[in-house]
A and B are shown apart, each in its own frame.
Chain A
Amino acid sequence: MHSRPRHRTRRTVTLAASVLLAGAATAPAAQADPPSGGDGPQHCTLDLDTGAERCFADFTAAVEHASGGRIDDAPASARTAAHDSGFRARTRSLAADSDRQADGVIQGTFFDDVDFGGDSLTITGAGLCEKDGWVDYQYDLQDAWKNRISSVQPWGNCWLWLYPEPGLGGDRDGPFKENTADIGSFMNDRTQSIGFS
């Protein structure tokens, strides 16, 4: 049995597709980079504050972007790193500097397939979830991500709530408090909006 959080939404971000449908420019437009070529999975980041979306060929690059793009050179593999005396430790903190609001806190990552496989969408927001019983942030998935999510990872102290309709409407599944490699049949490939509490 799931408890229902109080929905005191602080932030609502609607992406370009929804804005066009609604005819109201109440949210920043998405600025998605065209997906790069290749058959591999796409790893995209979305900034809830700006609506800006960017996609990358690998997850590390996506997280690098989400965390402010401050990563040094990365090992191609653990084996490579172990044998590369020049391997430079890659660490970074999230940027929440007042001059760089685009660098938010990662609040959740959502995957197309179970076991965190396939395409991913990493969402950043202005801060950590506060654990005060309220939905702190919410997001309506753009068309490209509707009805696809199969595994999720909560970040930034957030719990994740999945809904089959925009605006946190319809059924609800959650909270997902930990990395969940398979969200189960109830909401698999049904999510259209997400609450972060």
Chain B
Amino acid sequence: MNQRVKWSVLLAALATAGSAALAPGVAQADDNPPTIRELLDKCDNGTDVCVFHPDGPPRDSTGESHQVGDSAFNCTQDLQRSTVGWSDTTGESNSVGVSLSAEYGFAEVFKVSIETNYQHTWESSHTETDQTNIDVRPGEVGWVTREAQLQTVSGQYEMHFPDRFHGHYIWYVPFEATGPKPDAPSTKTQHTRQMTDDERSQHCG
């Protein structure tokens, strides 16, 4: 994310009072344009305006299936019901790689926008803890997988600067974040299969 923007950008001048149009500016190529991160660090920390505009409703998706808790090996001759205790945390990712749980101005603007527009909070992290029963037949191994429900919100930050920032008064900054969908149940699935010889020798003695 440290790569600099290679395009030069054009000047946007703030309209002055009594003027119907922008004060025409001279396009100024910036040889050292800011990164998205540098711009977002200025949100509510050097801007007159910093607003996040979502570009659509949150998009739901399902996270990757992955094992939670330990595997249960049945080394007996009888069917066994095993209880697998597990705790699993679903985190977030976003296009700048900075946790929205941190106290950055742009993160607060984003979270307030989500709350205001969609009437739910943005969760950067959600941990679910549970116990799941698995019926494991003799000589088999059982395990539990979990798929979390995610939501993705994307849009644009609109940032106005009182003075030119890298040559411009107005910057638009694209942003996208994916995180756990609040109050959405995850999918838990029990699996069993025959133990391998290595597993049998390792876990059954």
Interface residues of chain A, those whose CB is within 8 Å of chain B, are 10-11, 59-60, 63, 67-68, 70-72, 74-75, 77-79, 81-82, 86-100, 103, 105-106, 109, 113, 115-117, 120, 126-128, 130, 132, 136, 153, 155-157, 178-179, 181
Inside 8 A of B25's CB, which chain A residues have their CB?
96-98
CB contact between A94 and one of B34, B167, B170 (< 8 Å): that residue: B170
Count A/B pairs, Cβ under 8 Å.
Answer: 172
**Which residue of the partner chain B has the closest CB to A111?**
B56
Interface residues of chain B, those whose CB is within 8 Å of chain A, are 1, 3-15, 17, 19-22, 24-27, 33-37, 39, 49, 51, 53-57, 93-95, 97, 113, 116-118, 152, 154, 156, 158, 160, 167-174, 176-178
CB contact between B36 and one of A77, A79, A90 (< 8 Å): that residue: A90
Query: Are A59 and B56 in touch, CB under 8 angstroms?
Result: yes
9 contacting pairs across A/B (C-beta < 8 A):
A11-B20, A70-B7, A91-B5, A93-B12, A98-B26, A103-B10, A116-B55, A116-B56, A120-B55
Query: Are A70 and B9 in touch, CB under 8 angstroms?
Result: yes
Query: Are B20 and A128 in touch, CB under 8 angstroms?
Result: no
Query: Are B20 and A10 in touch, CB under 8 angstroms?
Result: yes
Inside 8 A of A90's CB, which chain B residues have their CB?
5, 36, 173-174
Inside 8 A of A93's CB, which chain B residues have their CB?
9-12, 167-172
Q: How far is the CA of A75 from the CA of B5 in the complex (A)?
A: 14
Q: How far is the CA of A74 from the CA of B95 in the complex (A)?
A: 10
Q: How far is the CA of A95 from the CA of B171 in the complex (A)?
A: 10
Query: Are B55 and A60 in touch, CB under 8 angstroms?
Result: yes
Given contacts A79-B178, A89-B3, A109-B53, contact A96 B95 (CB under 8 A): no
A97, A103, A181 pick with most chain B CB within 10 angstroms: A97
Q: How far is the CA of A97 from the CA of B171 in the complex (A)?
A: 14
CB contact between A181 and one of B13, B117, B174 (< 8 Å): that residue: B117
Q: How far is the CA of A93 from the CA of B49 in the complex (A)?
A: 14
Inside 8 A of B156's CB, which chain A residues have their CB?
63
Q: How far is the CA of A116 from the CA of B49 in the complex (A)?
A: 21
Q: How far is the CA of A130 from the CA of B39 in the complex (A)?
A: 24
B116 → chain A, closest Cβ, in Å? Answer: 7
**Which residue of the partner chain A has the closest CB to B92?**
A78
Query: Are B117 and A155 in touch, CB under 8 angstroms?
Result: no
Inside 8 A of A75's CB, which chain B residues have their CB?
95, 176
Q: How far is the CA of A181 from the CA of B15 in the complex (A)?
A: 28
Query: Are A91 and B1 in touch, CB under 8 angstroms?
Result: no
